[in-house]
């Protein structure tokens, strides 16, 4: 299953109500496109932090149609992952902290910003 095709969503920042709505929109978009799976990857400062699952359950428990895989990765891995992952990636930025330069990933990146 994990080697199949995924609709990829990366999430930066704290998951709040706004972030949850954006994730729900992504899941809806994936459904509309006929995708079968969504991968949601949270980039976190502390690898042991799973507090995002508390808000994320509003997304997870409403979904019945798609397979969803939730991962967390260290923030430092973001550009490395963007380099290696093929295909389109939706990046939700839900914080105001400075980010690395992402211009070289423009072609495959769809960025959704806070606000």
Partner 1 sequence: MGRTRFDIILTTDRSMMSNHHGKEFVGFMTTGPAIGMPEKLWMWIAAPKMKVDSLGRPWQAPYALRKLEALLQDKGYNAAVIDPDYVAHHLLDAKILMLSHHDYFALCPPSSEWWLITRKEPVNAKSFRRFMNSLPLAKAKERGLKIIAGGPAAWQWLYRLDLMSRWGIDTVVDGEGERIIIDLVEKVYSGEPLPRYVFVGPSDVPSIEEIPAIRRPSINGLIEIMRGCPRGCKFCSVTLRPLRHMPLELIEKEMLVNVREGVRSGILHSEDVLLYGAKGIKLNPDALIKLHQLARKHWESIAWSHASLAAVKNAEEEHRLISRLREIICSKGQDYWGVEVGIETGSVRLAKKIMPAKSAPYPVEKWPEVVEDAFTIMHENNVIPAATLILGLPEETPEDVVKTAELLDRLKPYRSLIVPMFFVPMGVLKNKDWFTDVRVTDEHVEVMRRCLWHSVRWAEEIIDKFYLREAHLSPLKYLLKMFLSYVKMKVRAYEKKMGLRPIEAEAAPIAH
The residues of the shown chain that bind partner 1, judged by CB under 8 A, are 1-4, 36-37, 48, 50-51, 53-54, 56-57, 60-61, 63-73
Q: Residue 54 or residue 86: which is nearer to partner 1 going by CB? A: 54
Least Å from the CB of residue 42 to partner 1 = 8
Q: ∠ CA(22), CA(27), CA(31), 5° rounding? A: 145
Look up residue 53 and give its two tokens.
């699952």
Q: Whose Cβ is closer to partner 1: residue 63's or residue 79's?
A: 63
CB 42 within 8 Å of CB 52: yes
- Minimum Å gap between C-beta 34 and partner 1 is 10
**Which is nearer to partner 1, 48 or 115 (by Cβ)?**
48
**Nearest distance, CB of residue 78 and partner 1, angstroms:** 15
- Angle (nearest 5°) at CA 84 between 48 and 68: 55
Q: How far is the CB of 99 from partner 1 (least distance, A)?
A: 22
Give the Cα separation of 40 and 56 in Å (integer).
10
Single out the residue of 47, 35, 50 nearest to residue 90, CA to CA.
35
Q: Toward partner 1, which CB reaches closer, 57 or 113? A: 57
Task: Please state, in angstroms and rounded to a whole number, the distance separating the CA atoms of residues 18 and 94.
Answer: 8
């Amino acid at each position: 299953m994990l080697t199949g095709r995924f609709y990829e969503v990366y999430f930066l920042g704290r998951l709040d109500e706004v972030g949850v709505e954006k994730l729900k929109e992504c899941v809806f978009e994936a459904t509309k496109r006929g995708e079968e799976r969504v991968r949601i990857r949270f980039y976190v400062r502390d690898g042991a932090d799973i507090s995002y699952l508390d808000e994320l359950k509003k997304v997870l428990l409403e979904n019945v149609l798609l397979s969803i895989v939730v991962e967390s990765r260290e923030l430092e891995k973001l550009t490395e992952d963007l380099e290696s992952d093929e295909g389109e990636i939706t990046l939700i930025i839900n914080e105001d902290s400075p980010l690395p330069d992402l211009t070289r990933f423009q072609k495959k990146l769809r960025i959704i910003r806070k606000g």
